[in-house]
Amino acid sequence: MTINNRIELIINSLKLNNNSFSLRIGVNSTVIHNIVKGRNAPSYDVLQKILSSFDNISADWLIMEKGEMINTNKRLEYAKSSTDSNVSLAEPLGKIKGKENNLSVQIHPDENQPSDLCPNCSVLKHALKQTERALKHAESEIEARKETILLLTAKINDLTEKFDGRKDGQKRKSAS
């Protein structure tokens, strides 16, 4: 089963259509349509949004097809907290947009929690570390380019002054 098939299975299991699923995870419906049709593979961003929107979906299952689709410990949490038999097991986790600095808290709220209770935490922490490294690299690139822009701006100003000085000198010669 491909990752595209697993995403389609999630949509069907939640009794959603592509449009309602895309709204729940916060992406354009065309993106989901193309994934389900097999035209495109899901991006890291789409996978992250699925996992953050439906915290009972196993990251190991979604990404590598290991284990079950639904985390067993999340099933128990929903079963204990739900008194309505019609409540879906796929209650969305609060969106983490704008809370990137608290992402590790969202992923693993209790550092003393045994790792078998959070099987997808290591995958998500690894992805977070890679993202943080890429962000630091991008920030250093931006700073280096800012310095280059400042140097080039200074050179342009110097050349402009020299050119303006030559034009003034030529005007004086032609005026005399």
pLDDT digits (tens, 9 = 90+) for 71-103: 765 544 444 444 343 333 333 333 333 433 333
Residue 136 token pair: 């630091």
Banded pLDDT at 118 (limits 50, 70, 90): low
Question: Is residue 171 domain-resident?
Answer: yes
Question: Is residue 56 domain-resident?
Answer: yes
pTM of the model: 0.43
Q: How many domains does the chain have?
A: 2
Please state the rounded mean pLDDT for residues 130-138.
81
Question: Please, are residues 28 and 22 in contact by the beta-carbon 8 Å criterion?
Answer: yes
Which of the two residues, 66 and 138, has the higher pLDDT score?
Answer: 66
Which of the two residues, 154 and 171, has the higher pLDDT score?
Answer: 154
Residue 42: give the domain boundaries. Answer: 3-95
What does the pLDDT read at residue 146? 86
> Which residues in 19-49 are b (16+ Cβ under 10 Å) and which e?
eebbebbebeeebbebbbeeeeebeeebbbb
85 and 123 co-located in one domain: no
Question: Is residue 105 domain-resident?
Answer: no
Length of the chain: 176
Number of alpha carbons in the 13 Å side-chain half-sphere of residue 125: 12
160 and 89 co-located in one domain: no
Q: Residue 52 sits in a domain of what CATH number?
A: 1.10.260.40
